Structure 1
Amino acid sequence: MKIEKVLNNNVVMCRNELNQEIVAMGKGLAFQRKAGDIIDDSKIEKTFILQKHGISEKIAKLLEDTSELYLNISSKILDYAKTQLPYKLDDYLYVALTDHLSFAISRHKQGIQLKNALLWEIRKYYKTEFQIALNALDMIEKETGIRLDEDEAASIALHLVNGQLSGDNMAAAIQITQMVNDILNIVKYHFKMELDETSLNYERFLTHLRFFGMRYMRKEKSMDSIDDFFHEQIKHKYSDAYKCTQKIATYLSKEFGWEISKEEEVYLTVHIHRVTNRHLLNQKAE
């Protein structure tokens, strides 16, 4: 493979036989090398493919001040995450996670510990991502000898959640988490009940809310393909769940300026009915 750009003595950008942009890493891989030179394949220790245009420039800038060790750790974490998650992760995660790890480890060495205010919510609502992040702490410790705490696992999990959003705005992942938490609280207070977090219906509802929030962050418009007759049927059949949906709609309008569609109302109402119905039936049977 031919070198396109030397990032440092150990990291280069190049292209494979499919013309895909690749980051190649290896000790001394680029020593006394320049763009246009052929790589010694025997020195390559790690490669990963970049699908998104412009990421290589951001990695190059990042590596001016950051050790490629953190890029290597990020790559291992993301390789593992891709085997565990059902969705595609954005290439920007290589940059965001590398930068985060460098900063987190630097803080740790200085004895500075930052608490993640969303630790409880992340552990609860993003169970798969949080478990991946806990395993990531093991990888980090193996490579650096430093054990980061669960607050950092929560931050890594948020990066994975944010990796679905195709961008570098961590605030979006935090906002989605807060939105999900607020909507679940509206449901709990409306029905005056705790939800069964072990149930399949709860997992389905949680998944729906997460993607619901992502659609808002991506500014995706619902096609509103639900006809008025069906909307009215759902409204009357699940009247209490629909009243709860209206409270959620008011919250979304007030907090985000988001006017949800009739289609979104229907899906929310059906999910709310499913997640609360078994509990309500049990109450009546008592």
Structure 2
Amino acid sequence: MIIEKVLNNNVLLTKNAKGKEIIVMGRGISFKKVIGDTVDEEKIDKTFMLSTNELTTKLTELLYEIPESHLELVNEIVTHANKVLNTTFSDNIYLTLTDHIHFAIQRHKRGLSISNAMLFEIQRFYKKEYEIGLDALQIIERSTGYALGEDEAGFITLHLVNARMDSNEMKYTMKMTEIVRNILNIVTYHYNIVLDDTSLNYSRFLRHLQYFSMRVLRKESHSSGEDFLYNQVKNTYTKAFACVMKINEYLENTYEQSLSKDEYVYLTIHIQRVTERNSLGE
């Protein structure tokens, strides 16, 4: 195997004989190595070969930003979930759940926590998956030393539910696509920019809109009733907040639904991030 990219001393990107991209991990496997060198296969501890090269590329981009140990603990969580649920998950979970857990740990370090307004429903409707979410908290604590709260177990549960290959959500696909497309159009026209649909930020925003659009179709709206974050993002990210107001108007006119304060917060933060980084070419 020949090295395609060096991510850090312990992670690299290569291809197998069929041209399939593979992420390879091993202590010191990339030390003093450059593109074109041969992979020292004796040092390989773990490999990740996802279903498409596109997914592998996005996961590679993510590993530039986060410790590889976060991907390793997600692999442990997914392996555990596979055994308990006797099911198969979409490879996309390695991207989405790794990204989520990394940001959850970063928030925890800064003393910030986001309440999961759907926690009661998650505990009620996805009991087995939620138990795995609780197990995941133990895996995270053992790996990182950080004890995340039960709200995060709920968020992890949603990632597991969404990634199950046998999930019966196809009936929502067309409507979800329409809602996501219209919201992206609102953002594009509000900022008068073209979003980079190949960026990691865009992928994050798109995933949030997919979850959000499903809640709209199910007529689920949750709010913690807390005003602090709402007022903070309203005053700090005024342009993004104004964009969310337009999204709210669209939802009221089309689906007779209004955004809760929590939804205002999450959408404003995501829009601020995707447009800010987009303008910087990231």
Residue 160 of structure 1: how far off its partner (Å)? 1.3
C-alpha distance in 2, partners of 1:136/1:15? 31
The equivalent residue for 2:76 is: 76
1:103-182 correspondence to structure 2 within 5 Å: 103-164=103-164, 169-173=207-211, 176=214
Paired residue secondary structure (2:66):
coil
Q: CA deviation at 1:145?
A: 1.0
> Would the alpha carbon gap of residues 85 and 177 (structure 1) be closer, same or farther in structure 2, given more than 3 Å must change?
farther
Give unmatched runs, 5+ long, in structure 1: 183-252, 257-286
Q: Distance in 1 between matches of 2:6 and 2:128?
A: 36
Which amino acid letter does the alignment assign opposite residue 55 of structure 2? I
How far residue 128 of structure 1 moved from its aligned partner, in angstroms, is 2.1
Distance change >3 Å, CA 87–CA 169, structure 1 → 2: farther
Q: Displacement of 1:153 after TM fit?
A: 0.5
How far did 1:14 drift? 1.9
1:49 — aligned with what? 49
Q: 1:19 to 1:255 in 2, by over 3 A?
A: farther
Q: How does the TM-score come out when normalised to structure 1?
A: 0.57
SS at match of 2:151: helix
Structure 2 portions without partners, runs of 5+:
174-202, 221-253, 258-282
Q: CA deviation at 1:255?
A: 6.5
Residue 117 (structure 1) shift: 0.6
Q: In 1, Cα distance between the equivalents of 2:213 and 2:150?
A: 20
Alpha-carbon distance in structure 1 between the residues aligned to 2:153 and 2:118: 11
Report how far residue 116 of structure 1 moved.
Answer: 0.5
Instruction: Please state whether the residue corresponding to 1:120 is helix, strand or coil.
Output: helix
RMSD over aligned CA atoms reads 2.7
- For residues 138-169 of structure 1, the C-alpha deviation after alignment (integer angstroms, 9 at most, x for no partner) is 11011011111110011111111222479862
Shift of 1:254: 5.8
The DSSP-based 3-state class of the residue aligned with 2:53 is coil
Q: Which structure has the larger Rg over C-alpha atoms? A: 1
Cα distance, 1:179 vs. partner? 5.8
Structure 1 pair 132–178 and aligned structure 2 pair: CA distance change class (3 A): farther
Aligned length: 186
Tell me the percent identity: 40
